[in-house]
């Protein structure tokens, strides 16, 4: 059981872990690429804007100065004053002020405000492409490559291109070390977050899966116990979901199995018991003959033969009952006239009744509708009821077989057949049991008179196979009995 549950749980966890990993990986990839692309686009756009603003300011500067003189100092000092605003020293302050004086304070302030200038590298090349200012100082005096210049923003004064200004990503990789570091830390945080989230989901998932697989494990354990022979084992799961329904169905199944098993055991012991009685009689008689106590006379053999007849009948009855109980009785369906059938059966019993000095009557209502059924099986029902009545009615008594029509409700009609005797009757406490297999009110007497204890159970199975109902009534011992059954009219 534990093996099963753990394995189901493990499978679910494995699948879940795979899904989480795939989810985290895909999310991370998508966000990573998207962030990098967006970041690059944003950097390029802001650099372009900055370059445009700077170009405007520089145009004004050139127009005023007539040359680029002093512009390098302006660029580097303003850049410095912005990026290290907290740590201004006297010299840079001076540069700053000088730049301010050169450009005119308002104009410089305006330029700074518009461009956010100061964070990015700025390179200014003159009309020939030679770098005259670079905030890092690195490229000053060098000829700038043509393809870089093409990316820059031209500074035009009076229709003449006097220089090119390049900002940030136009001269260096999009991600400067600071940007790259920032992106890296964003990515790392994202990865850490996703991993922590995934881990949390796994922990919660494992608890959840345990909740789900636990009842499955219980059902499995119970099924294994029942399979191993413990039919009393039940499952204690009461949820409304599929597992709950499985458990409920399992419990019902186990109940049925247990009942069937009890019935089977009872039946086997009943049958063994019933067979043992005639068998031991036969054996005892044969041994007496062998030992010379009994004579090997036709009378003694007749007695033994009688016991074998009882055994044969018992075995035949058992077979019919087993087939009927299994619902495998094959009936030869036809329209049966119960009035006609009753007359014939009574005819056959008349000599037996006369022998026992019991009056046998038949009362049949006019125009009995036919029933749908198997004439041979219905004859057997009547035989069983009549032979019981004969067996339990002493000399001087009377037996009446009646056939009537009865309102079956719902515009349907039933044919009601009753066998009434004036015999020994049945006590109220025995009445509910007379249709049970091997039940006898008086065991020894019934067996001695040749009964198998299966006559009424068989009659009930046959009547029910015809869609009918059978029952017994008696006012008590000595008051006679009435056995009745109904069949739906065709
Ligand atoms: P059996 O072979 O013993 O007659 P049945 O199943 O036919 O078996 O009947 C079961 C028991 O019901 C009988 O043993 C008897 O005690 C009782 N019984 C059946 N029919 C009658 C009857 N007409 N009057 C009194 N008791 C009856």
Given a contact cutoff of 8 angstroms between Cβ atoms, the answer to whether 342 and 462 are in contact is no
pLDDT tens for residues 138-192?
Answer: 777 788 787 778 888 888 888 888 888 888 887 777 676 777 888 888 888 888 9
- Calculate how far, in angstroms, residue 413's C-alpha sits from the geometric centre of ligand 1: 29
Ligand 1 touching residue 151 (CB < 6 A): no
* Minimum CA distance residue for ligand 1 atom 2: 451
Residue 82: pLDDT above 90?
no
- DSSP string covering 330-345: ----EEE-HHHHHHHH
* Minimum CA distance residue for ligand 1 atom 19: 388
Residue 84: pLDDT above 70?
no
d(Cα 71, Cα 64) in Å, to the nearest integer?
12
- Per-state percent for the chain, helix, strand, coil, to nearest 5: 60, 15, 25
d(Cα 326, Cα 345) in Å, to the nearest integer?
28
Q: Which atom in ligand 1 lies closest to the alpha carbon of residue 451? A: 2
Structure-model confidence comparison of residues 79 and 208, the more confident one: 208
Nearest to 135 by CA among 98, 168, 174, 178: 168
Structure tokens at 252: 């019902």
Q: Which residues contact 356 (CB under 8 A, 6 or more apart)?
A: 390, 393, 395
pLDDT tens for residues 364-393?
Answer: 999 999 999 999 999 999 999 999 999 999
Nearest to 456 by CA among 412, 391, 363: 391
Count of other CB atoms within 10 angstroms of residue 126:
19
Output the pTM of the full model: 0.58
Nearest to 356 by CA among 308, 316, 393: 393
Distance from chain centroid for Cα 223: 16
Given a contact cutoff of 8 angstroms between Cβ atoms, the answer to whether 152 and 166 are in contact is yes
Q: Which atom in ligand 1 lies closest to the alpha carbon of residue 419? A: 23
DSSP 140: T
d(Cα 133, Cα 191) in Å, to the nearest integer?
42
């Amino acid at each position: 059981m534990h093996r099963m549950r753990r394995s189901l749980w493990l499978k679910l966890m494995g699948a879940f872990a795979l899904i989480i990993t795939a989810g985290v990986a895909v999310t991370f990839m998508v966000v990573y690429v998207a962030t990098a692309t967006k970041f690059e686009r944003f950097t390029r756009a802001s650099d372009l804007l900055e370059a445009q603003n700077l170009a405007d300011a520089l145009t004004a500067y050139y127009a005023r100065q007539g040359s680029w003189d002093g512009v390098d100092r302006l660029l580097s000092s303003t850049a410095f004053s912005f990026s290290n605003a907290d740590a201004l020293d006297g010299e840079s302050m001076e540069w700053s002020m000088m730049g301010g004086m050169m450009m005119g304070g308002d104009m410089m302030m305006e330029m700074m405000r518009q461009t956010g200038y100061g964070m990015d590298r700025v390179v200014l090349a003159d009309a020939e492409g030679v770098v005259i200012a670079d905030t890092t100082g690195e490229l000053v005096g060098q000829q700038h490559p043509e393809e870089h210049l093409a990316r820059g923003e031209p500074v035009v004064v009076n229709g003449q291109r006097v220089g090119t200004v390049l900002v940030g990503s136009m001269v260096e990789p999009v991600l400067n070390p600071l940007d790259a570091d920032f992106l890296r830390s964003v990515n790392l945080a994202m990865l850490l977050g996703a991993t922590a989230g995934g881990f949390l989901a796994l922990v919660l998932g494992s608890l959840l899966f345990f909740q789900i697989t636990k009842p499955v494990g219980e059902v499995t354990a119970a099924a294994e116990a029942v399979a191993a022979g413990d039919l009393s084992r039940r499952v204690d799961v009461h949820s409304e979901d599929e597992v709950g329904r499985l458990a409920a169905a399992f419990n019902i199944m186990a109940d049925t199995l247990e009942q069937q098993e009890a019935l089977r055991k009872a039946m086997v012991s009943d049958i063994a018991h019933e067979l043992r009685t005639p068998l031991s009689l036969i054996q005892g008689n044969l041994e007496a003959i062998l030992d010379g106590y009994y004579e090997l006379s036709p009378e003694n053999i007749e007695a033994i033969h009688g016991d074998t007849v009882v055994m044969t009948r018992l075995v035949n009855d058992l077979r019919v009952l087993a087939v009927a109980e299994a619902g495998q009785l094959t009936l030869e369906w036809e329209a049966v006239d119960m009035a006609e059938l009753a007359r014939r059966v009574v005819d056959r019993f008349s000599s037996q009744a006369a022998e026992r000095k019991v009056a046998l009557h038949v009362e049949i209502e006019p125009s009995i509708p036919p029933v749908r059924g198997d004439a041979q099986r219905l004859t057997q029902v009547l035989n069983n009821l009549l032979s019981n009545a004969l067996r339990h009615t002493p000399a001087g008594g009377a037996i009446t077989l009646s056939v009537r029509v009865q309102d079956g409700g719902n515009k349907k009609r039933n044919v009601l057949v009753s066998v009434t005797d004036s015999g020994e009757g049945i006590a109220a406490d025995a009445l509910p049991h007379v249709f049970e297999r091997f039940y006898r009110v008086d065991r020894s007497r019934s067996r001695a008179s040749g009964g198998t204890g299966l006559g009424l159970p068989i009659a009930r199975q046959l009547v029910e196979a015809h869609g009918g109902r059978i029952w017994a009534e008696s006012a008590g011992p000595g008051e006679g009995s009435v056995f009745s059954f109904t069949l739906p009219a065709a």
